[in-house]
Amino acid sequence: MEVVSDRDRRAAEHADAEAAMADAVAGAMLVDPTGAGTHREVGGPPPTDGLAVRAPSGVLSYDPADLTVTVAAGTTVGELDAALAPHGQECVLDPVDDAATIGGTIAVGLSGLRRLRVGPIRDQVLEVRFVTGDGRLVRGGGPTVKNVTGYDLPRLLVGSFGTLGVLTRVVLRCRPRPRHAQWFRSTGNPDVALARCLRPSSVLWDGTVTRVLLEGHPGDIEAESARAGLEPDRAPEHPAGAHRGRISVRPGEVAAVGRRLGGLDGVVWIAEAGVGTVHVAAGEASALTACREAAHDAGGWMLREAGAPGLDGFGRPLPNPDLAGRVHRAFDPTGKLAPGRIPLPQVEVEAEPGGPPR
């Protein structure tokens, strides 16, 4: 049963707000898609003189039996969670700070710590509505959990940093909240936990201690933790520091990266074993540069997440820059959306003959 009481009024208000966003983008020279500001330092810097364009907030439609929710992109992750919790469901976005907006979390595309079991954030987004650089309101994907109707615009928008469009509204996949969840620790190798647990939600390793999150039936959690030699523990702390980054390497390289990071002074880190994400934090910006070198040496890369203002956001060029540039221009022909946030090839100012209207 639909649980949003005044759905039609909300939908109408949201449509008005979307139209206003489209007008604002169409009329602006430079656009700075803006949410709660929790991801402003991730990747490249936002434009300093862009027009701030914000999406409205609110849950627009939710029927728990559909296991999907339609939400305005300016809603915070915390607000959405509060709306789903009474129905025993959740959307697994898991940003570091749940004051982040849904739109911002999707735009930066950072997956949460439960990725090992639940999958990356790109698998949670079913439908997107967004304003393109030429001020058009575009919808892609669909409101059902399974869909091959046209191209997968939702996945394309995840991690686009607002450069393809300003999100106005999304449909997300919901899941039943786990019956039971418990963090554990062991001093064993994370590979043991990965091999002995069927579907652990998270296996984290800091070089000394392995921490494992198990979710599901209490009986299974008890049996599985015993089998893997795990002791109950508190949830781990996210690495804290003024300068933070996120390393992405093949899962098999995590141990090598960990050894390198362990030799760096003033660096705290925690690795997602089985995934290949390593979260690093440092008190000095220069230490983050050393972390990036460790990532590159292991064949990976590091995204700047916070601080280190002099550091390049990505530290390496985009793969397939020509193709990525063409995709970018398809949605933002004049390059007005969040320029600089990802290292795209420069947009030619002159329109191509017969190109899209400007």
Partner 1 sequence: MCFPDRAEQVAEIVRVAARHGRPFVARGSGTGLAGGATPVGRPVLIVTTALDRILEVDPVARVAWVEPGVLNLDLSRAVRHHGLHYAPDPSSQQACTIGGNVATNAGGPHCLASGVTSAHVLAVEVVLADGTEVVLGGLEPDQPGYDLRGCFVGSEGTMGVATRIAVRLVPDPPAVRTLLLDFTSIDDAAATVSGIIAAGVVPAALEMMDAAITRAVEDFVGAGFPRDAAAVLLVELDGLDAGVEADAGAVAEIGRRHGARTVRVAADEAERALLWKGRKSAFGAIARVAPDYYLHDAVVPRTRLVDVIRSVTEICSSYGLTCMNVFHAGDGNLHPLIVFDAREPGIWPRVRAAGDEILAACVAAGGVLSGEHGIGIEKREAMALVFGPDDLDAQARLRDAFDPDGRANPEKVLPRGSRCGELGRVPEGTWI
Please report, as residue ranges, which positions from 227 to 266 form the binding site for partner 1 (by CB under 8 A): 246, 248-252
Is there binding between residue 272 and partner 1 (CB under 8 A)?
yes
Residue of 20, 67, 235, 351 that binds partner 1 (CB under 8 A):
67
- 358: CB partners within 8 A, 6+ apart: 134, 333, 334, 351
324 binds partner 1, rule: CB under 8 A:
yes
Alpha-carbon dihedral of residues 101, 93, 4, 127, nearest 10 degrees? 90
Output 243 or 329, the one with its CB closest to partner 1.
329
Is residue 86 near partner 1 by the rule CB under 8 A? Answer: no
Q: Which of 7, 40, 177, 185 binds partner 1 (CB under 8 A)?
A: 177
- Cβ atoms of 288 and 307 closer than 8 Å: yes
Kindly report the length of the chain.
358
Q: Counting beta carbons within 10 angstroms of the beta carbon of residue 52, is it exposed (0 to 12), middle (13 to 18) or buried (19 or more)?
A: exposed
Q: Which of residues 284-313 bind partner 1 (CB under 8 A)?
A: 299-301, 303
What is the token pair recorded at 237?
């702390």
List the beta bridge partners of residue 183: 213
Selected from 15, 51, 99, 138, the binder of partner 1 by CB under 8 A is 138
Stretch that binds partner 1, among 71-79, 94-102, 176-184, 262-270 (CB under 8 A): 176-184
Please state the closest distance from residue 290 (CB atom) to partner 1, in A: 19
Under rule CB under 8 A, residue 94 binds partner 1: no
C-alpha span between 83 and 62 (Å, rounded): 9
- The residue (of 13 and 191) whose beta carbon lies closer to partner 1 is 191
Binding window for partner 1 (CB under 8 A); candidates: 28-36, 73-81, 262-270, 336-344: 336-344
Q: Are 156 and 41 in contact (CB under 8 A)?
A: no
Q: Residue 139 interacts with partner 1 (CB under 8 A)?
A: yes
From 10-18, 29-37, 58-66, 232-240, span contacting partner 1 (CB under 8 A)? 58-66
Q: Which lies closer to partner 1 via its Cβ, residue 73 or residue 106?
A: 106
Contact positions with partner 1 (CB under 8 A) in 145-164: 145-153, 155-156, 158-160, 164
Q: Which of residues 4-43 bind partner 1 (CB under 8 A)?
A: none
SS3 29: coil
Figure out which of the listed residues 219, 240, 265, 350 binds partner 1, where binding follows CB under 8 A. Answer: 219
C-beta atoms surrounding 339 within 10 Å: 22
Using CA atoms, how far apart are residues 221 and 213, in angstroms rounded to an integer?
10
Given 236, 264, 314, 334, the residue binding partner 1 (CB under 8 A): 314
The residue from 306, 331, 338, 339 that contacts partner 1 (CB under 8 A) is 331
Q: Which stretch binds partner 1 (CB under 8 A): 33-41, 47-55, 78-86, 170-178?
A: 170-178
Residues 95-114 that bind partner 1 (CB under 8 A): 109, 111
Nearer to partner 1 by Cβ, of 9 and 179: the residue is: 179
Q: Where are the alpha helices (DSSP H) in the chain?
A: 7-27, 77-84, 102-108, 115-118, 153-157, 190-196, 218-227, 254-262, 285-297, 321-331
Of the candidates 352, 345, 293, the one whose C-alpha atom is nearest the C-alpha of residue 319 is 345
Contact 91, 69 (CB under 8 A): yes
Whole-number Å distance between alpha carbons of 263 and 259: 7
**Residues 337-356: x where in contact with partner 1 by CB under 8 A, - otherwise, as a string:** -----xxx-----------x
